[in-house]
Chains A and B, each alone.
Chain A
């Protein structure tokens, strides 16, 4: 059964009457990489955070179908919410690693939804999780870094740890909120390639908020353009031309 995410009528207003998201309908399926582009403040981050409920949506529903069946996320709370969050991996713009912990501990953070506090305190994770963490470190090109503290790593290395942490969850969907915005161009390309590749390997959809339109065109199977809290473009990467960009970002002086 293919993994899928179905968002219907999603509205988020941080202040009543001033919605950031004004009714989003999306259906994302399969193992492709979907890039969301749009100007700052148009609600891209809010959209991702409504999926794993770091932000509570005002209206609408989010259905996630994965290995453990289908669940509606928008009204969950408590234990049920935590159980669903275990199935959603997230990669952050500023990596959000726990700086004082080692790379290995940061990866095992991805399994914290499955271990008791007593076991977590003593760092007694199941051997299968630890083995998987070592394998993932090799996959993201950080073999041998397990014992390093996260604050000793470079930006690109940190983001690789961030991706590995999300993959440790064996997620049904991988969300990435501006994963390349703090990185240099070369590292950005490597990170995007890693996200696309891992989505295919794990057979899960990858949804990436991104400011860099060229990177989006290069790596995305599908591009969603947002403007003013609505979806204004939804289609292939090739279809994103100047007309679309004008529609998404407004103006045209910046287009060359």
Chain B
């Protein structure tokens, strides 16, 4: 998947900031992202066994 990676490191913090700067339009996405993280934290995420999912 080399071709899909940018040559520039976008920076994790910079990407998160783009979500925070999104205002109202980003609320739903932010909520969904937090929800998914919470499920993963509680090990309730169905995709835990998905081989494509990151190990962490």
Does B associate with A?
no
Which residues of B approach A to under 8 Å, CB–CB?
Answer: none
